[in-house]
Amino acid sequence: MFEGLSKYQPQFLAILRIVAALLFIEHGTMKLFGFPASSMAPGDGGLSTLMLVSGILETFGGLLLLVGFLTRPVAFILSGQMAVAYFMAHAPQNFFPVNNMGDAAILFCFVFLYLVFAGPGAWSVDGARNTA
């Protein structure tokens, strides 16, 4: 019944990559530029080194994923970043992800890990360069 949908797999993999990248970029721009506005925006004291590195990875890594350039290595790095973020910032607060607000970090971690193995899908610089 659903076998015919398989022919659209590359396009929907690309949609997953693009949507995840757009959401991830927001986390980075929030840290680096205060947009969208959040309590995590840079204050008078600036960002800690860890938050600055996170913001750079999220913004620029997200942009690379958005266009599908160096997808596999970037996704690997970002997956690791999200695993570290979860265990450093969320897990110590509470065991349950819904209570420690870490469910997004877990989802990003595993979506990016999937991209390491699946590649960028359609509509990517990697695909145009035939390095997927």
What tens digit of pLDDT does each residue of 32-86 get? 999 988 766 565 567 899 999 999 999 999 999 999 999 999 999 999 999 999 9
In a domain, 69, yes or no: yes
Phi, psi for 31 (deg, rounded to 5)? -75, -45
In a domain, 2, yes or no: no
Number of structural domains, the chain?
1
In a domain, 1, yes or no: no
What tens digit of pLDDT does each residue of 94-119 get? 999 999 999 999 999 999 999 999 99
| Residues of the domain holding 27 | 8-129
| Residue/partner pairs of 104-112 with CB below 8 Å, 24 or more apart | 106/82, 108/20, 108/23, 108/24, 108/78, 108/79, 108/82, 109/79, 109/82, 109/83, 110/79, 111/16, 111/20, 112/20, 112/65, 112/75, 112/76, 112/78, 112/79, 112/82
13 has a pLDDT exceeding 60: yes
